[in-house]
């Protein structure tokens, strides 16, 4: 520690003179009885030190302290646990001997490195996401190296060869799996609209990939409720071939309909699990009409129309506000939902809006807020300034009117901000925020998207314009508009429903996958049709087995996460009791099995070579895993980092200074007390 005094030297001399003068007056100029001369001098020195130190502290000296910290390099071990690895002939070796060598190597490295082990992959493999996770968690740390243990097969996410460019550390790849092309034919892809309409036909496209099946003929069939509804015979005319077949099926029964696609097996085929796939189609009786009414042309309108058009359950039409004679015309024309963009404005006040018409408001810079507040729809924005603010979307996990899965919420929070009106946002009773605004670094309670199920019809609010930027960002980040389209569809699914007459209602998706949790929501209304969740609500879910669960309370509703369920068809019945009456709600959903890992078992070691070459690493054989620590020790760029930190603090604030002064004065007092001076 070093003491820094930012003052002239003679001030220090004055402090010392003050201490000396004080001691002299106290012990030499006054009468001190019969005090021993040696003790007198000793106490004078003590008083000199105490007074001088106190005087010096008044000059506000600083204490300079320098500390150092050693940070070991982080070595991230990314371990692929996907099923494609354990379906190969070396699976026993990977589970036993290789796993033991890996554990031994990791333990050996812990003295010199900060070793972190990250598992990824199960029913699907996303190598890029695993690499991105390392980058996000350790971008500000001393990331030394990444050991990627995988077969190179990925069936979800972006190309890992491009993702690795963002890492600031070399990636060493342990090449698992078998690169040999084996005799196999697989249902590589099934493409079908998950929603169809009763009485209509819909296409189902099947892609078959075959290796080393020259001259073979195979039967491709589609079954529904135990009967074959379509079939084709395929001819494989090459050593490696891909065939796409399109079938047109009839939606002749409403509800969740399961279709099973089968490819007949042959002798010597490497794996037959990929010869069978099932898909579920939700057949709906009728489409819903949606009117988009903008105040003026806007790119948001095109983004909404595109999202609505991606959902076959809806039919959208853009209507100019000036073409509407009155708002009741929308209901007379059979529209199930109307979306007002930047309305009401200075020219149109929306008076006469039917209370029974489900409505979604997109509130922007042209919206006349006093006129909007006068509609009393469940949200009011009070402001004296005509000003916009940037509002980043943040998922409100307490929202209970409908569900949004964690992965979609994470993607939404990466989207750009909306341009929202500045003001005091006031939510009415029963209105909940799905997304709240992050302004700067502060997550506020200002809603970005909110919904209400009060009154005759449901209401939705998007507080801000710039939805077209969300759609572009979704494509830029995920190479598709799926998340944006799903978000808009969920908003429409909730808002377009007429007010539920049943007081207890359960909301569940029609289709889940075996790699995603089954999340179910529920709503309960009292006799005044106000949302409540005071009574306990339960649900009985029936699949191969039957189980009863109790809902958790969330916001003003209920939610329940059943976790990942096995593939199959499930029915459910929920129940609660309010005012002595038993209320129930029933429905069904399907969990589809994910078979991505069985589609190909041919390891892609060329991808691993590209990843290693791009990042400055190497490709290792599984038998070389024990030598990995020796390899990175030879690198000069993977070393511990020493961080030095200098801190300044006022000397008067240090506890030991106070203790020293008290010890000096206390010792002096005890000595004087003992000699009868006090």
Cβ of 39: how many Cβ atoms within 10 Å? 16
Task: Return the structure tokens found at 188.
Answer: 């590589």
Order of all β-strands in the sheet with 546-550: 511-513, 581-592, 568-578, 537-542, 546-550
Q: What kind of fold does domain 504-592 have according to CATH? A: Immunoglobulin-like (2.60.40)
Q: What token pair was written down for 215?
A: 């001259």
Residue 150: closest CA among 106, 120, 180: 120
pLDDT value, residue 203: 92
Q: CA–CA separation, 374 vs 476, rounded Å?
A: 39
Per-residue pLDDT band at 398 (split at 50, 70, 90)? confident
The stretch 245-265 carries a mean pLDDT of 89
Q: What is the mean pLDDT of the chain?
A: 86
What's the pLDDT at 544?
A: 84
Q: pLDDT, tens digit, for every residue of 54-96? A: 888 888 888 878 777 788 899 999 998 887 777 777 778 888 8
pLDDT band at 432 (very low <50, low <70, confident <90, very high): very high
User: What's the confidence (pLDDT) of residue 147?
Assistant: 93
* Contact status, residue 215 vs residue 236, Cβ threshold 8 Å: yes
Q: Average of pLDDT values for 239-255?
A: 87
Section 652-662 average pLDDT: 83
**How do residues 419-431 score in pLDDT, each as one tens digit?**
999 999 999 888 9
For residue range 339-382, list pLDDT tens digits in order: 999 999 999 999 888 888 899 999 999 999 999 999 999 999 99
* CB contact burial 377-399 (16+ within 10 A = b; e otherwise): bbbbbeeeeeebbebbbbbbeeb
Does residue 592 register a pLDDT over 70? yes
Q: Is the pLDDT of residue 133 over 70?
A: yes
289 has which bridge partners?
A: 315
Tell me the three state secondary structure of residue 47: helix
Residue-level pLDDT at 519? 93
Q: What per-residue confidence (pLDDT) applies to 599?
A: 67
**Which percentage of the chain shows pLDDT scores above 90?**
35
Beta strands 337-341 and 288-294: pairing type? parallel
How big is the chain by its Cα radius of gyration, in Å?
A: 36
Specify the higher pLDDT residue, 671 or 535.
535
- What residues contact 560, with CB distance under 8 A and at least 6 apart? 519, 520, 521, 522, 539, 549, 550, 551, 552
pLDDT of residue 500: 42
Q: What is the mean pLDDT of residues 597-621?
A: 85
- Write 606-613 long-range contacts (CB < 8 A, 24+): 606/152, 607/152, 607/160, 607/161, 608/148, 608/150, 608/152, 608/173, 608/175, 609/173, 610/161, 611/148, 611/160, 611/161, 611/164, 611/171, 611/173, 612/170, 612/171, 612/172, 612/173
- CATH code of domain 288-496: 3.40.50.880
Average pLDDT over residues 237-265: 87
Architecture of domain 184-284: Sandwich (2.60)
Average pLDDT over residues 231-253: 88
Predicted confidence (pLDDT) at residue 499 exceeds the cutoff of 50: no
Residue with tokens 């003001």: 423
- Reported as type and span, the H/E element at residue 538 is strand 537-542
- Residues forming a β-bridge with 677: none
How would DSSP label each residue in 592-616?
EPP-GGGS--B--HHHHHHHHHHHT
Cβ neighbours for 412, distance < 8 A, ≥ 6 positions apart: 393, 395, 404, 435, 470, 483, 487
Domain ranges of the chain: 2-67+646-674, 73-177+611-639, 184-284, 288-496, 504-592
pLDDT band at 190 (very low <50, low <70, confident <90, very high): confident
Confidence band of 555 (pLDDT split at 50, 70, 90): confident
Taking CA atoms, 72 is separated from 48, 615, 639, in Å, by 49, 21, 7
| Residue found by looking up tokens 């970005």 in the block | 448
Q: Which residue has the higher pLDDT, 25 or 371?
A: 371
Q: Do residues 186 and 213 make contact, with C-beta atoms less than 8 angstroms apart?
A: no
Do domains 288-496 and 504-592 share one topology? The answer is: no
Per the model's pLDDT, the better-predicted residue between 36 and 408 turns out to be 408
Is it the case that residue 180 has pLDDT exceeding 80? no
Q: What digits encode the pLDDT tens for the residues 374-396?
A: 999 999 999 888 889 999 999 99
Q: For residues 565 and 512, give the distance between their C-alpha atoms in angstroms, rounded to a whole number.
A: 9
CA 168 to chain centre: 24
Reported as a pLDDT band with limits 50, 70 and 90, residue 454 is confident
The dihedral region occupied by 489, where left means phi > 0, alpha psi between -120 and 50, and beta the remainder, is: alpha
Look at residue 33 in the predicted model and tell me its pLDDT: 58
Residue 571 CB coordination number (10 Å): 13
**Range in 50-54, 339-343, 409-413, 529-533 with the lowest mean pLDDT:** 529-533
| 312: pLDDT strictly greater than 80 | no
Q: Which residues contact 127 (CB under 8 A, 6 or more apart)?
A: 80, 120, 148, 150, 152, 154, 157, 160, 163
Token pair belonging to 285: 């009786």
Q: Under CATH, which number does the domain 73-177+611-639 receive?
A: 3.40.50.410
DSSP 375: T
Cis-peptide into 344, omega within 30 deg: yes
- Looking at the chain, the whole-number percentage of residues with pLDDT higher than 70 is 97
Query: Using CA atoms, how far apart are residues 143 and 165, in angstroms rounded to an integer?
Result: 14
pLDDT band at 677 (very low <50, low <70, confident <90, very high): low
What's the pLDDT at 111? 86
Which tokens in the block code for residue 573?
Answer: 């019945």
pLDDT digits (tens, 9 = 90+) for 264-303: 888 777 777 788 888 888 887 767 889 999 999 999 999 9
Considering only residues 321 and 596, tell me which one the structure prediction assigns the higher pLDDT. Answer: 321
CA–CA distance, 12 with 14 (Å, rounded to integer): 5
Report CA torsion sign: 93, 94, 95, 101: positive
Give residue 34's pLDDT: 66
């Amino acid at each position: 520690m070093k003491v820094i005094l930012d003052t002239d030297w003679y001030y220090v001399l004055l402090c010392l003179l003050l201490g000396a003068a004080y001691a002299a007056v106290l012990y030499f100029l006054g009468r001190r009885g019969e005090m021993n001369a040696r003790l007198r001098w000793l106490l004078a020195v003590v008083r000199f030190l105490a007074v001088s130190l106190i005087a010096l502290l008044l000059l506000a000296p600083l204490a300079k302290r320098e500390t150092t910290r050693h940070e070991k390099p982080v070595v991230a071990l990314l371990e692929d646990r996907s099923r494609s690895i354990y379906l190969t002939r070396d699976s026993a070796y990977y589970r036993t001997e290789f796993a033991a060598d890996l554990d031994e190597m990791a333990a050996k490295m812990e003295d010199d490195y900060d070793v972190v082990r990250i598992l990824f992959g199960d029913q699907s493999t996303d190598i890029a996401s695993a690499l991105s996770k390392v980058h996000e968690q350790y971008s500000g740390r001393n990331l030394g190296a990444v050991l990627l243990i995988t077969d190179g097969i990925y069936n979800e996410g972006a190309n890992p060869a491009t993702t690795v460019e963002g890492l600031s550390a070399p990636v060493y790849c342990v090449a698992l799996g078998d690169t040999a092309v084996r005799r196999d034919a697989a249902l590589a892809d099934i493409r079908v609209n998950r929603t169809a309409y009763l009485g209509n036909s819909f296409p189902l496209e099947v892609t078959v990939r075959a290796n080393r099946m020259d001259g073979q003929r195979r039967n491709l069939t589609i079954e529904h409720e135990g009967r074959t509804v379509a079939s084709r015979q395929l001819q494989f005319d090459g050593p490696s071939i891909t065939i796409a077949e399109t079938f047109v099926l009839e939606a002749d029964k409403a509800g969740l309909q399961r279709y099973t696609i089968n490819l007949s097996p042959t002798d010597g085929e490497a794996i037959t699990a990929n010869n069978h796939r099932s898909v579920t189609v939700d057949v709906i009786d009728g489409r819903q009409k949606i009117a988009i009414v903008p105040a003026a042309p806007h790119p948001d309108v095109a983004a909404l129309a595109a999202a609505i058009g991606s959902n076959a359950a809806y039919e959208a039409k853009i209507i100019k506000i000036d073409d509407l004679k009155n708002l009741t015309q929308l209901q007379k024309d059979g529209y199930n939902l109307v979306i007002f963009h930047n309305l009401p404005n200075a020219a149109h006040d929306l008076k006469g809006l039917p209370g029974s018409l489900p409505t979604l408001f997109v509130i922007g810079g042209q919206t006349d807020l006093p006129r909007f507040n006068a509609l009393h729809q469940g949200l009011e924005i009070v402001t004296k300034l005509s000003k916009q603010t940037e509002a980043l979307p943040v998922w409100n996990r307490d929202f209970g009117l409908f569900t949004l899965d964690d992965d979609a919420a994470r993607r939404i929070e990466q989207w750009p901000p909306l341009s929202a009106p500045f003001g005091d946002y006031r939510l009415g009773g029963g209105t909940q925020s799905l997304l709240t605004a992050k302004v700067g670094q502060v997550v506020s309670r200002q809603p970005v998207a909110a919904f209400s199920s009060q009154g005759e019809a449901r209401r939705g609010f998007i507080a801000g314009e710039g939805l077209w930027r969300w759609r572009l960002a979704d494509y830029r980040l995920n190479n598709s508009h799926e998340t944006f389209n799903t978000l808009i569809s969920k908003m429409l699914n909730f808002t377009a429903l007429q007010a539920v007459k049943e007081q207890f209602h359960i909301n569940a998706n029609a289709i889940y996958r075996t790699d995603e949790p089954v999340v179910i929501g529920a709503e309960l209304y009292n006799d005044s049709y106000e949302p409540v969740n005071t009574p306990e609500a339960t649900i009985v879910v029936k699949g191969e087995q039957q189980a009863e669960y109790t809902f958790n309370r969330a916001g003003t509703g209920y939610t329940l996460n059943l976790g990942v369920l096995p593939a199959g068809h499930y029915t459910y019945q929920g129940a609660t009791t309010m005012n002595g009456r038993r209320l129930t709600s029933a429905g069904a959903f399907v969990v589809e099995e994910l078979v991505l890992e069985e589609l190909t078992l041919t390891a892609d070691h060329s991808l691993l070579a590209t990843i290693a070459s791009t990042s400055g690493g190497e490709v290792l054989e599984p038998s070389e895993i024990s030598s990995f620590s020796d390899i990175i020790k030879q690198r000069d760029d993977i070393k511990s980092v020493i961080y030095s930190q200098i801190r300044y603090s006022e000397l008067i604030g240090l506890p030991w200074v106070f203790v020293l002064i008290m010890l000096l004065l206390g010792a002096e007092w005890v000595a004087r007390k003992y000699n009868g001076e006090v």
